[in-house]
Structure 1
Amino acid sequence: MVSEVLVRGMLYLSLSAVGVPGNLVVITAFLSVLYQDKRLLTADAIVLHLACVNLMVVAARCLPETLASFRLATVFSDAGCKAVIFVYRTSRALSIWLTFLLSAYQSLCVALPGSCWASICTWLARHYSLVFLILWLLNTCMSSAAILFSFGARNTSAPASHGINVQFCFVNFPSKLSKEANGAAQVGRDVVPMALMALASLIILFFLYKHSQQAKARRGGSERRAAKAVVALVTLYVVLYGVDNGLWVYTLTVRKTMGSSLMSDLRIFFSSLYAALSPLIIIASNRKVNGRLGCGVTVKVVKEQATGLSTV
């Protein structure tokens, strides 16, 4: 048991060690751009918001799990469990929807320039703050069950037959129906943006192929780099969150896993892995972030400023 807890703690520590500084680098870089240019491109604003919620995922779940695993701090009282699970579920869902929003915006920019769909892209560029607010309200409401049904492990001897053991906390639903309804809502909340962003990525790939068959347009290089980075983020999401949701469905349908924290640990690890690894893709592909890592050199791309596209 001691070795299992040690391995668990090391895994969460590794996610924290990668995810916290990685997301902080992305956030700092784009705040620097905002301070210097007094504005952010739409794609940059989405990426900045994505980095913030990914940082929340790692800070709200991986850091407390690390502290508890190594017995450095006791953060999982009833109130602590409610706060950790609520913030984690909300930020995790926002991470998913913001990745979809980024892929949808990029597909509109790449696939449909000059068409009637361009008006949607323009509207999104002008009202992305409103979209952020709607996403926050929606996902905050959908995560409210965590406040009602989460309890510290020390205050509950064992989860009910319709409960879930998440190692340091228990989530005890009042009935089997409420548990399954909550699980179905979470899966639906994840699967819908997954399907839509997969469609958006297919559109991006189609037009990348189409562009490769034609002469390079004046802004084609920047556009292709941005599109490829978004496709990489979506691919990472689909793989990791696909495993996460598969494990969640398994937890809901197989009774013998109800009292075990193994499935929950695996789910948290794979979903947190996206929050930890996605900033590495952003850092590697975004020239504005690279410019602020390379001895403070600011890279300004005139083409991007003119078209409203970001490298990610």
Structure 2
Amino acid sequence: MESDMLTRGLLYLFLTVVGVPGNCTVIWAFLHMAYSEHKLLPADAIVLHLACANLLVVGVRCLLEILATFELANVFSDTGCKAVIFVYRTSRSLSIWLTFVLSAFQCLSIAPPGSGWAGVRALVARHLGGIFLFLWVLNTSMSSASIAFSLGSQNDSGLMQHGINVEFCFVRFPSRLSRDANGAVQVARDVVPMALMTAASLIILVFLYRHSQQVKSLRGGAGGGGGGGKRQGSSAEQRAAKAVVALVTMYVTFYGVDNGIWVYTLTVQNTLKSSLLSDVRIFFSSLYASVSPIVIIVTNRKVSKRLSCGREDEKPVQSADTALSTM
């Protein structure tokens, strides 16, 4: 095996070894929570759905890439390529949109009770199933081009003129215009939720900063009275803030590199003959799906508690920490 193929296989192996157990752990924790408590809070349901989408990203794309790279099995026929690329693109974009929904819901969670934004939060929670269905329909329809244009072989060198090489598969477009249009749709599909998610996360951080300043002011005026409860609240806010910053930073970094390479691939003609850029893109877009469950396990108090003492009885916590700690 050539060294570049070995490196490629090891990178996908890393994503699979980290991502599959991590996402399965998050899914198990929330399913166990739903079974034992007979309910699941809206923010927890969003995280559960996010972990399922991330598991599809890692399991369908990275695991199959390992099998093909090490010649253990090859599912990348014409039909296999159509299925793999379609499921990968759909679950990848679902991961982005679900993280935006989670950030937006948590942003609404800090709204004062009785305000209009609190009413919007209740409306979102009531129609969460419809939101999930809408996102599935939206992202599957926007990924349908892969079914029409994906191939498992490259027998005709003329296919390279308007195509993209992804090592074991080949995405052929009938014209340069259709290729660029499809690329622009994919970039817009990623950039819009990323921008909205960043804005929602910044609002949360501003709120947490102002609240921490108020806590410090009250603590100083009270001469330290009741400091234990305030310190506990402050530490909960710090955990939530760190989780928000970690996820947003990962998104901006990983998906920023992914979309930057994608735009470069569309604009520079000679890059189409190499699968290297596509491999780098897939690695960075799959890296979030592999690493995010670690962030969720570390920062989500309910998940970490479920893992450390799975059978311990828990009381539902109806506070700001409940909504924000789900990050």
Identify the TM-score tier after normalising by the shorter chain.
over 0.9
1:237 positional shift: 1.1
SS of alignment partner, residue 123 of structure 1: helix
Matched, 1:164 2:164: yes
Q: Identity percentage over the alignment?
A: 64
Q: Which residue of structure 2 lines up, in the alignment, with residue 119 of structure 1? A: 119
1:280 to 288, 291, 294: 294
Tell me, which stretches of 5 or more residues in structure 2 are unaligned? 216-229
Q: Which residue of structure 1 lines up, in the alignment, with residue 279 of structure 2? A: 265
State how 1:194-213 maps to structure 2 within 5 Å: 194-213=194-213
Q: Which residue of structure 2 lines up, in the alignment, with residue 76 of structure 1? A: 76
Q: Which stretch of structure 1 is more off in the superposition, 158-167 or 248-257?
A: 158-167
Contact 2:111 2:117 in 1 (8 A): no
Contact 1:9 1:69 in 2 (8 A): yes
Distance 2:142 2:192 in 1: 14
Matched to 2:133, the amino acid is: L
Contact 1:106 1:230 in 2 (8 A): no
TM-score (norm 1): 0.94
State how 1:109-188 maps to structure 2 within 5 Å: 109-111=109-111, 113-153=113-153, 159-188=159-188
Q: Which residue of structure 2 lines up, in the alignment, with residue 99 of structure 1? A: 99
Residue-pair matches, total: 312
Contact 1:109 1:121 in 2 (8 A): yes
Q: Which stretch of structure 1 is more off in the superposition, 45-54 or 298-307?
A: 298-307
1:204 positional shift: 0.8
1:72 positional shift: 0.4
Tell me, which stretches of 5 or more residues in structure 1 are unaligned? none
1:102 positional shift: 0.6
Distance 1:124 1:58 in 2: 29
Matched to 2:270, the amino acid is: K
1:99 positional shift: 0.6
Matched, 1:248 2:262: yes
What is the aligned-residue RMSD (CA, Å)?
2.1
Matched, 1:233 2:247: yes
Relative distance call for 1:126 and 1:292 in structure 2 (3 A) is same
Matched to 2:306, the amino acid is: R
Matched to 1:278, the amino acid is: S
TM-score (norm 2): 0.90
State how 1:43-54 maps to structure 2 within 5 Å: 43-54=43-54
